[in-house]
Structure 1
Amino acid sequence: MTFGKRLKKLREEKSWQLEKVAKYLKVSIATVSNYERDFRKPDIDTINKIADLFEVTSDYLIGRTSIKDAILLENEDLPKELKEIGIEYLEVNKELKKKGLSPEDILDIIEAIEKTGLRKRDR
């Protein structure tokens, strides 16, 4: 799915008019319409504003992931145990974040999975 199609889908899911998005972005309605029809591409700052507006990641908007509301835990934020098993970053669903899961909680989940033998061995 293209950037424009994702933008239009997000806008329609909220039942918003083009005008509302244009006003938030401080651009014309025609500009937003051109984004949605893939006639024009926004700059990175505008992509980030759109991501904030719709509470999705910029990676979702540009098609790098199909997960709308993931947050990324960068390498420096990970406990050393997660780094040791080769995880560079994790995508954590916003719902899990709402439940208060910390990186340590995630480590506990990984350890539980390892105990079941579901984790691939010798990657």
Structure 2
Amino acid sequence: MPIGERIKDLRKKAKMNQEDLGAILEVTGAAVGSYERGKREPSIESIKKMCEIFNVTSDYLLGMTDDRYATVRFNSKVELQTLLEVNEHVTLYNHELSKDEKQRIIDVSSVMFATKNQTDNTDV
């Protein structure tokens, strides 16, 4: 799906008109219409803002994938724990995680990775 169609689809799902989106992007509603019709391409700054507004990845907005959200895979508890500890702001489903929530995820993941490792060892 071309970027213009994605913008229009996301804008409508957000119950916004072209002028609303234009105001956020600091462009005119007519400019948004041009993006949607493929007559003009949004700036990189506008693309970044739309990704934030609509909570999608730039790959999705640009039509490079049909996955709206970034997928992060972890092969170990250490990788997940490092991500949660190193990054001050971690968001999950539009909710910024508190320190307590991050710790709960680490605790739960410990059980998940331990269970996975036990299952992998019994398959040998």
Question: How many residues get paired?
Answer: 106
Structure 1 unaligned runs (5+)? 84-92
**CA distance change for structure 1 residues 3 and 106 in 2, over 3 Å: closer, same or farther?**
farther
CA contact (8 A) 1:18 1:29 kept: yes
Counterpart contact for 1:70–1:94, Cα < 8 Å: no
Bigger Cα displacement from structure 2, 61-70 vs 24-33: 61-70
* Normalised TM-score (structure 1): 0.62
Q: Structure 2 CA distance, aligned partners of 1:110 and 1:65? A: 29
Task: Give the whole-Å Cα distance in 2 for the aligned partners of 1:96 and 1:112.
Answer: 29
Identity %: 30
Give 1 or 2: higher helix fraction: 2
Q: Which amino acid aligns with 2:41?
A: K
Q: Which amino acid aligns with 2:40?
A: R
Root mean square deviation of aligned Cα:
3.7
Higher Cα Rg, which structure:
2
**Equivalent residue letter for 1:27:** V
CA distance change for structure 1 residues 70 and 111 in 2, over 3 Å: closer, same or farther?
Answer: farther
Letter in 2 for 1:25: L
8 Å CA contact 2:6, 2:61 repeated in 1: yes
* Displacement after TM superposition at 1:48 (Å): 0.4
Q: CA deviation at 1:71?
A: 6.6
Partner of 2:23: 23
What per-residue deviation string (whole Å, max 9, x for no partner) do you get for residues 64-89 of structure 1? 3323233758x9xx978449xxxxxx
Report the CA distance between 1:52 and its aligned residue.
Answer: 1.4
Following superposition, the deviation at residue 26 of structure 1 comes to: 1.0
* Cα pair 1:57 1:71 within 8 Å, conserved: no
Partner of 1:44: 44
Rate the CA distance shift 1:42–1:115 in 2: closer, same or farther, 3 A. Answer: farther
Q: 5+ unaligned residues in a row in structure 2: which ranges? A: 81-90
Letter in 2 for 1:23: A
**Contact 1:79–1:104 at 8 Å: present in 2 too?**
no
Bigger mean CA offset, 38-47 vs 15-24: 38-47
Give CA-to-partner distance per residue, 1:14-67, whole Å, 9 cap, x none.
221111001111111111011111221112111001111222222221123323
